[in-house]
Amino acid sequence: MKLLCDFLLSPNCRLETLRLRNSWLSEISCASLSSTLKSNPSHLRELDLIGNKLKDSDMKLLCDLKESPHCRLETLRWKD
């Protein structure tokens, strides 16, 4: 996750879709990803986390981020 977050923080990152299906993400991974996207609003418009055994509480930070006016994230999937 650290390498991915470093990549998303890069000013050269133009990634618009990120699919992390069935990746065994943890609460810490979600927090890191949310923090990264909050620190550097990227071009990311779609984030797909389906298949990860995340609780609704794990996803709260990412859901809140989606509502931020500085975030370009339009689609967030985490439930099958």
8 Å CB contact between 79 and 54: no
pLDDT in tens, 7-41: 999 988 999 999 999 999 988 998 899 889 888 77
**What pTM was computed for the model?**
0.86
At 18 the pLDDT is 95
At 67 the pLDDT is 82
At 80 the pLDDT is 67
Buried b (16+ CB within 10 A) or exposed e, 18-43: bebeeeebeeebbebbbebbeeeebe
